[in-house]
Amino acid sequence: MLILVSCERDAKFNPDDTGKIYLYGIVSDGRDDLIKVNVSRPVFGVEAAMPEDVSITLEADGNEVELTRDVEYVSSGDGEIAYLVNEPFASGQKLTIRAESAGLPSAEAVTVIPEPLPEFAVSHSVEESYRVKDGDLLYGTFSTLSKFHVVIDEEFSKDAFYGVQVLKKKQIEVVGTLEDPIDESLYGNEEYDNIYEYPVMTELSSVKHEIIIDHNGGELLVAEMIDEDGKMAFDVYVDNEPRYMTNAEWHGDELVYACYEYYEYKIKVFRIPHEMYHSLRSEYIKENSDAPLHLGFSPVTYAYTNVKGGLGMFAAVTSSETEWIDYN
């Protein structure tokens, strides 16, 4: 009955007169780290400034750091521009970014270069990519996954956050003598592997909260940490691509030559600061949530930013990586 008599009315709402400066940057090793700049539009207003109008400065412990406009950066249509940072930083350095533009509130964000990562160990295994319960297939496709189990030599803490990227490099092994030369350019190139969201379904259909973002052209997984004998540990999955034979010639029982392709992997682990974790998680929650968040009956809408006066995220990470390893 109450639904029948409910009514809606236009309401006045003008919380922001102007847009806000949007900054997004993850400073890692100081090599071509991107800082993206944009200007948001108030929902009931008009765009007051363009990203080009925003002047930004970056300081490391009070000393200005040179920023170079990345003219090759192409935004996805919203006018975003980017600057490059090409200066290595040391752990403990405090980075302050400030942005200003006429008619907009100033924006400022601070981050501290995290401590270096301690040693970590990686083990590898192959798992089925589907789950079986009592003999019946519940969900999934028939394939296998490479699981990298990472254990970091650091005491477990719920408040420490780590990310991981998996790089792979296709290699070839030739047994015997090939008649035709190999096109070397097809091999030895580094690329980021796609991270598999696994297990995406449990037996009761609850989604695991794994956050995957794009970082420096590759997928970066913000891992869910496991307490393994008091140490920090996590798993990351990629499609399993076992060593396989691409070409071979047999003379009777004798193998004259054979070509094998396989991948070598490198695991790159990042130490992620709180502000980056909260920002990424808020984006994840927002993207995966439905209407009730808008209805005012849900807990606070998760909208974290560490850019005071503006929007976005500015964070610094440290990373460490393994050697190239052939897990086959």
Partner 1 sequence: MALSAVAPVHAQQSRTLKSEMEVIHESLGVNFVYDSAIEITVPYSGKPMKDVIKGNRKEHSILLDECLKALFAGTDIEYEVMKKYIVLTQADKRKKPKDYTIFIEEQHDTINEASITAYINRLRNTTQTGLTEIDASIFNKGFATFSSPDLIRELQNLPGVSGGTEMLTGMYVHGGDGNDNLFLLDGVPMYQVSHFGGLLSSFNTDVIESLDFYKSGFPSRFGGKLSSVVDINTRPGDMNAYHGSFNIGLLNGGLQFEGPIVPGRTSFNIALRRSWFDALSIPFLAIYNSTLPYPEEYDFRYAMTDLNASVTHMVKPDSKLSMNFYAGSDYIGFENSVKQVAWWDGVRYTGNNGYEIDVRWGNILGNLAWMKKFSVDLHLNTSLYYTRTNTDVSLYENEWSAGEYEFWIQDEGIRESTVSILHDAGFKADLDWIPSEYHHLRTGVSLVEHFFRPSSSSSILRTNTDEKKNIEDTDSYSVAYDSFEASLYAEDELTLTSWMKANIGLRYVLNALEGNTYHSLEPRAALRFQLAPNISAKMSYTEMSQFTHLLSAHYLDIPMATWLPSTESVAPMRSRQVAGGAYFNLPHNLYLNVEGWWKTMDNLYEYCGIDSIYPDMSDWENELMQGKGRSYGAEVELAWRTKSTDISAYYTLSWTERYFEGFWHSWYPARNDNRHKFTLNASHRFSKRFDMFLAWNYHTGNRMTVPTQEIGFTEYYASPYNYKLPDYHRLDLGFNFRKTTKRGNESIWNLSIYNAYCRMNPMFAQYDHYKNVIDWNTGEYEDKITFKTMAAIPIIPTFGYTLRF
Residue 56: other Cβ atoms inside 10 A: 17
| Contacts of 127 by beta carbon, 8 Å cutoff, 6+ apart | 144, 145, 147, 198, 237
List the one residue out of 222, 301, 210, 198 whose CA is nearest residue 26: 222
Interatomic CA distance for residues 249 and 223, integer angstroms: 45
Stretch that binds partner 1, among 72-80, 143-151, 214-222, 250-258 (CB under 8 A): 72-80
Min CB(17)–partner 1 separation in Å: 10
DSSP-assigned states of every residue in 185-213: GGSS-EEEPPBP-TT---TT-PPP--EEE
Please identify which residue in 31, 69, 209, 243 interacts with partner 1, judged by CB under 8 A.
209
Q: Which two tokens stand for residue 30?
A: 């100081």
Instruction: Based on the shown chain and the rule CB under 8 A, indicate whether residue 46 belongs to the binding site for partner 1.
Output: no
Interatomic CA distance for residues 122 and 28, integer angstroms: 22
Q: Can you say whether residue 77 is alpha, beta or left, with left for phi > 0 and alpha for psi between -120 and 50 degrees?
A: left
Please identify which residue in 30, 34, 40, 140 interacts with partner 1, judged by CB under 8 A.
40
Instruction: Based on the shown chain and the rule CB under 8 A, indicate whether residue 202 belongs to the binding site for partner 1.
Output: yes
Q: Whose Cβ is closer to partner 1: residue 172's or residue 226's?
A: 226
Instruction: Based on the shown chain and the rule CB under 8 A, indicate whether residue 226 belongs to the binding site for partner 1.
Output: no
Per DSSP, 325 falls in state B
Binding residues with partner 1: total (CB under 8 A): 64
CA torsion angle 240 241 242 247 (round to 10): 160
Per DSSP, 48 falls in state -
Instruction: Based on the shown chain and the rule CB under 8 A, indicate whether residue 43 belongs to the binding site for partner 1.
Output: yes
Instruction: Based on the shown chain and the rule CB under 8 A, indicate whether residue 101 belongs to the binding site for partner 1.
Output: no
Instruction: Based on the shown chain and the rule CB under 8 A, indicate whether residue 201 belongs to the binding site for partner 1.
Output: no
Please identify which residue in 29, 78, 128, 326 interacts with partner 1, judged by CB under 8 A.
78
Min CB(287)–partner 1 separation in Å: 9
- The footprint of partner 1 on residues 110-139 (CB under 8 A) is 133-134, 136
Instruction: Based on the shown chain and the rule CB under 8 A, indicate whether residue 273 belongs to the binding site for partner 1.
Output: no
Site string for partner 1, 141-180 (x = CB under 8 A): -----------------x----------------------
- The footprint of partner 1 on residues 12-31 (CB under 8 A) is 13, 15-16, 19-20, 22
Half-sphere exposure of 7 (CA within 13 A, CB side): 4
Which residues form the interface with partner 1 (CB under 8 A)? 2-3, 5-11, 13, 15-16, 19-20, 22, 38-44, 76-78, 80, 133-134, 136, 158, 202-204, 206-209, 224, 274-275, 278, 281-282, 285, 288-290, 292-306, 308, 311
